């Protein structure tokens, strides 16, 4: 690796981290605007034109707030929990294939940090599994019974739904024959997107992604009427800000993963070849930029679905949440694998 390759990697890392932070900030604003629209309210409209700077004002306010740590809390783990949560989200972004590679100056450059990782899907599942430690440590280290209950709820919830999430993507892996996310996207570029072949898996993944990100109607770890604020009750200042930011970063990451696995990734038009339809050379910069825009557009559409669901459905009871995960989604995931294998066997694929 020469210094140019190293500089490209550093630049891509800086772009991804900053883009993630800015996107998460504006997703908070989008949530507030969409919630206001659904509830026939106005929403933020004072800070900047149309309230566009409201999220930055919120971040500035969090920076200025005092970092209060309870006397009985474990300070080390209390500080470590938000770092784990945001670090896991950033790591997942590194393996998501945001665009195809384009040749510039004799070098193939892609926005993805690790475009040729053959086990990228396993890395994503591993990182989402590690993410539970951030929430569990936040609840335990606060030495607050409400925070501890929120952390325990989150641990049980995330572990339960991770099983169905992992099983739901096996059908996609069987069709693509690879764990490489780029290969999965290219397998969809020549034909139909996987959502047409795996509609049940797409619905299961969407539901489990809501549960994994602790989004309503699965926000039991922070149910205000029951747990005050849940696992982040004893957090303030930027520690709370990092936990809050991690939720939105994980929501965008989940949307990007769904776009990759089920909606063709950067493929613009299903069933058709993008380069032929648009009259552009495969791998050319204009085509790659259009494909990158399509990928981001699909991800943002799924983010809108996340927000829409939150402000439309009431919260589950905890027994309903666990019954849905173990008695409905898990059997459906197993049945989907069996049906996919049977169909592939009959079609000799």
pLDDT digits (tens, 9 = 90+) for 116-132: 778 888 888 888 888 88
In 3D, which of 289, 286, 294 has the Cα closest to residue 266? 294
Q: How far apart are alpha carbons 47 and 169 in whole angstroms?
A: 42
pLDDT reading at 19 higher than 80: yes
- What values do phi and psi take at 274, rounded to 5? -60, -45
Chain segment 163-200, per-residue pLDDT in tens = 999 999 999 999 998 888 988 998 888 778 999 999 99
In the numeric block, which tokens belong to residue 331?
Answer: 């059997």
Domain extent listing, the chain: 71-346
> How far, in Å, CA of 41 to CA of 269, rounded?
36
Q: What is the pLDDT of residue 1?
A: 61
Phi/psi zone of residue 48: left (φ > 0), alpha (ψ -120 to 50 degrees), beta? left
Place of tokens 């999430």: 165
Q: Does residue 281 sit in helix, strand or coil?
A: coil
**Structural element, H or E, at residue 107:** strand 107-109
pLDDT value for 227: 66
User: What are the tens digits of pLDDT across the range 219-260?
Assistant: 887 776 666 777 888 898 889 888 888 889 999 999 999 999
Q: Which residues pair with 107 in a beta bridge?
A: 104
Q: What separation in angstroms does the CA of 292 have from each of 51, 115, 163?
A: 27, 14, 31
With a CB cutoff of 8 Å and minimum separation 6, the contacts of 314 are: 217
């Amino acid at each position: 690796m020469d210094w140019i390759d190293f500089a490209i990697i550093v630049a891509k890392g800086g772009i991804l981290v900053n883009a993630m932070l800015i996107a998460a900030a504006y997703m908070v604003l989008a949530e507030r605007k969409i919630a206001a629209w659904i509830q026939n309210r106005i929403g933020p409209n004072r800070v900047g034109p149309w309230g566009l700077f409201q999220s930055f004002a919120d971040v500035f306010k969090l920076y200025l707030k005092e970092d209060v740590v309870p006397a009985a809390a474990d300070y080390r783990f209390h500080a470590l929990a938000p770092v784990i949560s945001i670090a896991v989200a950033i790591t997942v972004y590194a393996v998501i294939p945001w665009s195809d590679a384009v040749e510039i100056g004799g070098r193939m450059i892609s926005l993805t940090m690790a475009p040729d990782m053959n086990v990228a899907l396993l890395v994503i599942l591993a990182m989402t599994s590690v993410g539970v430690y951030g929430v569990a440590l936040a609840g335990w280290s606060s030495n607050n019974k409400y925070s501890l209950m929120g952390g325990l709820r989150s641990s049980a919830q995330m572990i339960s739904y991770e099983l169905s999430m992992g099983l739901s993507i096996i059908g996609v892996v069987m069709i693509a024959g690879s764990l490489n996310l780029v290969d999965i996207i290219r397998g969809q570029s020549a034909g139909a997107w996987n959502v047409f072949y795996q509609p049940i898996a797409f619905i299961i993944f969407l539901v489990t992604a809501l549960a994994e990100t602790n989004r309503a109607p699965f926000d039991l770890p922070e149910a205000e009427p029951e747990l005050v604020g849940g696992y982040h009750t004893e957090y303030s200042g930027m520690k709370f800000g990092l936990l809050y930011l991690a939720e939105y970063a994980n929501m965008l990451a989940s949307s990007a993963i769904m776009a990759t696995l089920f909606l063709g990734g950067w493929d613009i038009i299903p069933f058709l070849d993008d380069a032929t339809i648009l009259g552009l050379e495969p791998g050319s910069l204009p085509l790659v930029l259009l494909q990158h825009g399509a990928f981001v557009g699909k991800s943002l559409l799924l983010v809108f679905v996340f927000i829409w669901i939150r402000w439309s459905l009431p919260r589950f009871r905890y027994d309903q949440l666990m019954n849905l995960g173990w008695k409905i989604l898990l059997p459906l995931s197993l049945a989907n694998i069996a049906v996919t294998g049977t169909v592939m066997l009959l079609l000799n694929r």
